[in-house]
Amino acid sequence: MTIASSRRAIGAAVWVISLTACGTGSAPPKLANPPVVSTPITVQHAVIPAPSSIVMATGQSFLIDSSTTITVDAPGAQRVEAQHVADQLAALLWAPAERARRAALAAPSGTMQLTLDPAHVELAEEGYRLDVTSTGVRILAATPAGLFYATQSLRQLLPVSVEYPAAAQRVLRVNATTIRDLPRYEWRGAMLDVARHFLPLRDVEHFVDLMALYKLNRLHLHLADDQGWRIEIVSRPNLTAVGGSTQVGGGAGGYYSQREYRELVAYAAARFVTIIPEIDMPGHTNAALASYAALNCDNTARPLYTGTNVGFSSFCVESDSTYALVSDVVRELKALSPGGYFHMGGDEVKTLTPTQYRGFVDRVQGIATANNMRLIGWADIAPARLSPTTIVQHWSKDSLALHVARGGKVIASPGSKTYLDMKYDNATTLGLSWAGRIEVKDVYDWDPTLVTGATPESLLGVEAPLWSETVTKIADAEFLAFPRLAAIAEVGWSERNARAWETFRFRLAAHGPRLQALGVNFYRSPQIPWP
C-alpha cells in the first residue's frame, strides 16, 4: 500500500520535536517506584492515533489569523454533512462573532479548504489526506467521516490553547505537515456501564467528545443490568419506573427518556460515533425481574438489588412473557438506533442449563433479525446456533473460536488488556482487579489478533469497556478511561508497524496539557513523561 511505503520514504525530512522528560505535571502521583525517564527521546509529532504517514517540514508553518476562512467543496448529497464538519472546525477555532464575520467573508476558495470527493476510493470510509503548507490547509476525503478525522488530526497539530474558549483575535500557528491516513479497524469502541451507576446525558456527551478527539467510532452503552434499567421503553413503563429507580449502593439511579436518547444518538452521529445499545439478558436482569412479575418463573417480582454480585438472576426462558418483552424492547430500540445494532449481553449466566441458554440465544437472535437489527453478544453466546452475521465480543477465556470457525465477525475486548475498570496499580482506589492491574503500557502493547486468537479477517476491531461498580460520577470514569482510552484508540486505528511504546509514551505526554485544558480528570501514569 502506498501509504506504508511513503512512511518509509520520509526518512530525514521529518521535523523533529525533542521532548525531554521533566517531571510529572501539576498533580504528581505518589510513586512507589519512579520510572527512569531521564533519557531524552525524539518524536516526530504528537498525533494520536499515529497516522499511516506523517511528514513535518522544517521551518515552515501556516498562521490561522483574522483573514483565514474555511470553504467546503462536496457533492450535493454530502454537502450538508461536510459543511457540518467545517462548522465544528470553525467552532474550535473561533468565537461565534468571529465565525459569522468569516462566513460573510468566505471567498470561493478559503485558506482552509475541505474537499469531499467520493471518487477517491483509496481513502475508503474513514481515510483522509491533510496538507498544511505556508499558504493554507487542504483536506481531502471520500466521506464526511474522513473529513472529520482530518480535522481531529489538525486539532492535535495546533497548540493546546485551541482547547480553551476562543479569544476574539487569536492567532494560531500550525507547522507545515502532510498526513495520509487510514484506520486499521472499522470498530474502535468504548463501553460505558450506565446501569450499575447512572450517568446523566451531558456526561455521556462529554465522553463522546473525548472519544472523537481520538477517532473512536462506537460507544456501546450497557443500558440494563441487575441494578438498573436506563432506557425508556414506552410499552413497558415499569422497566424505568421501577427498574430505573436505584443503582449500586442504593442511590437514585435514573434513565434516559427516548427523547434524550435520540438527542444522544444525534450528538454522537455528528461526531461519527455510533451508539450501540446493550440490554443484558437472560442474566444480569434483576432490574427487569423487579419491574414485571411475569418475567419470573414463579410469577413473583424480585426485590430491587443494589449490590455487586453477578450470576444470580435470569429471565424465565420457558415463558412467552419473556419473549414478548424482548420483542417490545428490540422493536423500540430499533426505532431509536440508526446504527442498526442490538447487543444482547448474554454473559455470566449461572442458573440455566446449557440447553436452556442456547435456546434463549437462538430466540433472541430471531427477534433481532425480525426487527432488522444486527445482533451482538459477549462471547458466551458463541455455542448457540449463531448466524455468521451475528457479532461476538471476546472478553475472557471464552468460545470465540466457535464463531470464527463459522465465518463470524468478532470484537476484541480482552479483560486483561482493555477493561478500563481495572485498577492501574496497587495504589488505585477506584476500580476492580480480577483481570489484573493494567497500566498504560499493558493497554497499548498488544495485538488484537494474537491475544484473542481471532483471524485478521474475522476481527472487526477493539473496544474498551468501563464497568461501573465503583464508578459513581464522570470524574471517576475519566480517571479510569484516560489516558488508557487514547492507547486503545491507537491499537484500533494504527497499523502494528506504525506503533511503538517508546514513541507513544512521548506523544501521549504531549496530550497531558490538552486533556487538562479539556478539564479531564486523567491518571498521571508514572510510565508517561508528562511535561
Q: Does 348 participate in catalysis according to the annotation?
A: yes
Three cell numbers written together for 145: 467521516
Residue found under cell 450535493: 76
Could you tell me if 246 and 225 are in contact, meaning their C-beta atoms sit under 8 angstroms apart? no
Residues 468-497 that bind ligand ACM (CB under 6 A): none
**Structural element, H or E, at residue 42:** strand 41-43
Q: Tell me the closest approach of the beta carbon of residue 242 to ligand ACM, in angstroms.
A: 24
CA of 52: how far to CAs of 1, 8, 13, 184, 480, in Å? 10, 10, 16, 9, 28
Query: CA 230, CA 239: separation in Å to the nearest integer?
Result: 8
- Closest by Cα among 110, 108, 75, 74 to 90: 110
Is the bond into 118 cis (omega within 30 degrees of 0)?
Answer: no
Q: Tell me the closest approach of the beta carbon of residue 414 to ligand ACM, in angstroms.
A: 11
Residues 108-137 that bind ligand ACM (CB under 6 A): none
Q: Tell me the closest approach of the beta carbon of residue 469 to ligand ACM, in angstroms.
A: 11
Phi-psi region of 284 (alpha: psi -120 to 50; beta: other; left: phi over 0): left
> What backbone phi and psi angles, to 5 degrees, belong to 454?
-75, 150
Residues 168-187 as x/- pattern, contact with ligand ACM by CB under 6 A: --------------------
Residue number, 81 or 225, with CB nearest to ligand ACM: 225
Residue number, 181 or 347, with CB nearest to ligand ACM: 347
> What backbone phi and psi angles, to 5 degrees, belong to 466?
-125, 95
Residue number, 378 or 446, with CB nearest to ligand ACM: 378
- Closest by Cα among 356, 499, 525, 346 to 437: 525
The residue at minimum Cβ distance from ligand ACM is: 347
Query: CA 418, CA 399: separation in Å to the nearest integer?
Result: 18
Apex CA 249: angle with CA 282 and CA 268, to 5°?
Answer: 65
Q: Tell me the closest approach of the beta carbon of residue 413 to ligand ACM, in angstroms.
A: 8
Q: Tell me the closest approach of the beta carbon of residue 127 to ligand ACM, in angstroms.
A: 32
Residue number, 110 or 408, with CB nearest to ligand ACM: 408
Residue number, 395 or 424, with CB nearest to ligand ACM: 395
Residue number, 205 or 348, with CB nearest to ligand ACM: 348
Residue found under cell 480535522: 151
Q: Tell me the closest approach of the beta carbon of residue 396 to ligand ACM, in angstroms.
A: 7
Three cell numbers written together for 66: 483574522
Query: CA 336, CA 420: separation in Å to the nearest integer?
Result: 27
Residue number, 263 or 348, with CB nearest to ligand ACM: 348
Residue number, 418 or 494, with CB nearest to ligand ACM: 418
**List of E strands, 212-308:** 218-222, 224-225, 228-229, 274-278
Query: CA 166, CA 464: separation in Å to the nearest integer?
Result: 32
What count of residues does the chain have? 531
When asked if residue 378 is in the footprint of ligand ACM (CB under 6 A), the reply is: yes
The whole-angstrom distance between residue 415's C-alpha and the CA centroid of its chain comes to 16
Task: List own/partner pairs for 405-408 with CB under 8 A and 24 or more apart.
Answer: 407/458, 408/458
Neighbours of 105 (CB within 10 A): 12
Q: Tell me the closest approach of the beta carbon of residue 363 to ligand ACM, in angstroms.
A: 21
Residue number, 181 or 463, with CB nearest to ligand ACM: 463
Q: Tell me the closest approach of the beta carbon of residue 518 to ligand ACM, in angstroms.
A: 29
Q: Return the residue of 126, 193, 278, 347 that touches ligand ACM, per CB under 6 A.
A: 347
* Residues binding ligand ACM: number (CB under 6 A): 4
Residue found under cell 414485571: 292
Q: Point out the catalytic residue in the list 348, 469, 478, 495.
A: 348
Phi-psi region of 453 (alpha: psi -120 to 50; beta: other; left: phi over 0): left
Q: Tell me the closest approach of the beta carbon of residue 123 to ligand ACM, in angstroms.
A: 35
When asked if residue 348 is in the footprint of ligand ACM (CB under 6 A), the reply is: yes
Is the bond into 465 cis (omega within 30 degrees of 0)?
Answer: no
- Closest by Cα among 207, 281, 273, 204 to 239: 281
Q: Tell me the closest approach of the beta carbon of residue 314 to ligand ACM, in angstroms.
A: 15
Residue number, 129 or 220, with CB nearest to ligand ACM: 220
Burial of 211-233, coded b for 16+ CB within 10 Å and e otherwise, reads bbbbbbbbbbbbbbbbbbbbbbb
Residue ranges in contact with ligand ACM by CB under 6 A: 347-348, 378, 395
Residue numbers annotated as active site: 348
